[in-house]
């Protein structure tokens, strides 16, 4: 059974701080890694994808992947109250559908 | 603009009823998925399809079936609804047949309550 683990939170950070969200996965054959954001009452939307070890930056968001340690993280710089949401980590192995973690709830305090 | 449309936002059904949840995408996507989302349990895959007439079981298929007669439409069927099927149901699609390393587009969800 492929597993994707996330701390459920809530993770509370002050406005302007860096929010760090972490995810670990069980299958060493995992190849593709995604972060989805889900606002309360809304459906998930993709914010970042990463496929190789290292960092990938997109605006205020940075995804970090370490396959040897089997973790992927998402950093949100200059956190805003509008970043308050649940962040879902999703992992892909081969041609099987994505496996989602249970999500981490982030709260950015103004 | 890409769109995945789920027929109902809220649905209330009685135990034992047959329930149909409809999902239509207008993006010519090959892959379609049904998930359910419950507090504390996250998103769990019920069924998926990589092609018309094709269906595969996900992690929690018991009590559900699906139909994909046309490429753009993927229906989830609860043969005999039970209270433990009360949940938020999310449909999703993606572009390339069998490719699972690409962006999923989600519908707005159907909150189903079974009484």
Whether residue B97 lies within 8 A of chain A, CB to CB, comes out as no
pLDDT surpasses 90 at B99: no
pLDDT at A95 (0 to 100): 75
> How would residue B95 be classed by pLDDT, with cut points 50, 70 and 90?
confident
pLDDT in tens, A16-37: 999 999 999 998 888 899 999 9
The residue in chain A having the minimum alpha-carbon distance to the alpha carbon of residue B97 is A95
pLDDT in tens, A62-91: 999 999 999 999 999 999 999 999 999 999
Q: Which residues from A are below 8 Å from B48, CB to CB?
A: 97
Torsion sign, CA atoms B4, B8, B14, B19: negative
How sure is the predictor about B1, in pLDDT bands with cuts at 50, 70 and 90?
low
3-class DSSP state of B109: coil
Sign of CA dihedral B21, B25, B30, B35: negative
Q: Are residues A88 and B103, on separate chains, in Cβ contact within 8 Å?
A: no
């Amino acid at each position: 059974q492929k597993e994707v683990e996330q701390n459920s939170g809530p993770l509370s950070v002050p406005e302007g701080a860096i929010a760090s969200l972490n995810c670990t996965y069980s299958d060493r054959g995992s190849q593709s890694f995604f972060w989805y954001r889900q606002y309360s009452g809304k459906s998930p939307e993709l914010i970042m994808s990463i496929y190789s070890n290292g960092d990938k930056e997109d605006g205020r968001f940075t995804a970090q992947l370490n396959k040897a340690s089997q973790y992927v993280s998402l950093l949100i710089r200059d956190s805003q109250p509008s970043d308050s949401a649940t962040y879902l980590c999703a992992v892909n192995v081969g041609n099987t559908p994505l496996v989602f973690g249970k999500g981490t709830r982030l709260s950015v305090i103004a | 603009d890409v769109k995945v449309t789920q027929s109902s936002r809220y649905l209330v059904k009685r135990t034992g009823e047959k329930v149909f949840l409809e999902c239509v995408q207008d993006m010519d996507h090959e892959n379609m998925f049904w998930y359910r989302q419950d507090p504390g349990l996250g998103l769990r895959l019920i069924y998926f399809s990589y092609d018309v007439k094709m269906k595969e079981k996900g992690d929690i298929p018991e009590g559900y079936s699906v139909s994909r007669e046309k490429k753009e439409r993927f229906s989830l069927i609860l043969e005999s609804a039970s209270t433990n099927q009360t949940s938020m149901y999310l449909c999703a699609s993606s572009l390339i047949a069998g490719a699972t390393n690409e962006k999923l587009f989600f519908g707005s969800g159907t909150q189903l309550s079974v009484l």
